[in-house]
């Protein structure tokens, strides 16, 4: 009887464990789905697109880069990952692209269709609604363009989508724009922090009690609580291909160098 009860107890525990793991897995999927929905919803409003298009340094640099690499784009098939209003797709047509597939997951894709028609480029640009991980293209591509960079380069984690598109759709020897980034980090100081630390040296003048020994302790507390840095997982070694034999350098910077895959032989980089 004891053995039977013990077996039942173990069975119940295992069932409970697997049910809990199953619920946890479903919750992670729901959380990821919710995050994706919130992310794409943030691009349905006109404000963010107005800010990006009005940013002349950003938009002008992309246009310069694409037109500056027209020899590598002319007559080729292009994939625009996260096309938004379609501005990069239209730059590619200006550079001579034969066909552009503009993939956009949020409803701004409807406006992209209107803009493309307004510029008489509907015969060369096809807007495809969906994520690059779920859509199907009728052919492979020679060039991938995308503004995958977010704040501090890696925010929004869109790089994975570009790498997915590269592995699934990019022809051997194809071009990715941009395919290299340099991230510059500069140290800074805040006078408010120093004032808070030296406060302990001033206590004696106010109250006649020396509390300057608190300086070291206060420094540790301030450094740990006020300067918050979360770890960032970057792309794995060799995950972003460097291609573009006839590419030209354009301004703009962010320094993480992504090394070539072993099977990629071209070594000229595009920035």
Give the residue numbers marked as catalytic.
147, 156
Residue 190 is given by DSSP the state: -
Complete DSSP assignment for 203-269: HHHHHS---TTHHHHHHHHHHHHHS-------PPTT-S----TT----S----BPPPPPTT------
Residue 149 is given by DSSP the state: -
E strands, the chain, are: 77-81, 99-104, 125-129, 141-146, 170-177
Contact predicate 133/161, CB 8 Å: yes
Total number of residues shown for the chain: 271
**Ramachandran region, residue 257 (left: φ > 0; alpha: ψ -120 to 50; beta: rest):** beta
Q: Which residue has the tokens 């540790």?
A: 220
Q: To the nearest 10°, report the CA torsion of 157, 162, 167, 168.
A: 110
> Rounded distance, CA 54 to CA 95, Å?
21
């Amino acid at each position: 009887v004891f053995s039977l009860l013990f077996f039942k107890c173990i069975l119940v525990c295992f069932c409970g464990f697997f049910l809990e793991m199953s619920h946890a897995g479903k919750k992670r999927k729901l959380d990821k789905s919710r995050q994706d929905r919130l992310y794409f919803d943030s691009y349905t409003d006109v404000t963010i697109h107005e800010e990006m298009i009005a940013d002349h340094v950003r938009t002008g640099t992309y246009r310069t880069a694409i037109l500056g690499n027209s020899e590598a784009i002319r007559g080729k098939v292009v994939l625009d990952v996260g096309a938004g209003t379609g501005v990069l797709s239209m730059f590619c047509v200006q550079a001579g692209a034969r066909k552009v597939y503009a993939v956009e997951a949020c409803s701004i894709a409807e406006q992209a269709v209107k803009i493309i028609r307004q510029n008489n480029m509907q015969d060369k640009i096809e807007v495809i609604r969906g994520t690059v991980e779920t859509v199907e293209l009728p052919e492979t591509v020679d060039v991938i363009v995308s503004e995958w960079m977010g704040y501090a380069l890696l925010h929004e984690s869109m790089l994975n989508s570009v790498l997915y598109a590269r592995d699934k759709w990019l022809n051997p020897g194809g071009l990715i724009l941009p395919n290299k980034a340099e991230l510059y980090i500069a140290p800074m100081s805040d006078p408010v922090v120093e004032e808070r630390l030296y406060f302990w040296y001033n206590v004696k003048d106010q109250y006649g009690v020396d509390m300057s020994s608190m300086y070291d302790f206060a420094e540790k507390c301030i450094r740990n609580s006020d300067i918050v840095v979360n770890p960032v997982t970057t792309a794995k070694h060799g995950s972003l291909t460097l291609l573009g034999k006839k590419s030209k350098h354009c301004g703009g910077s962010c320094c993480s160098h992504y090394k070539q895959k072993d099977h990629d032989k071209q070594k000229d980089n595009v920035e």
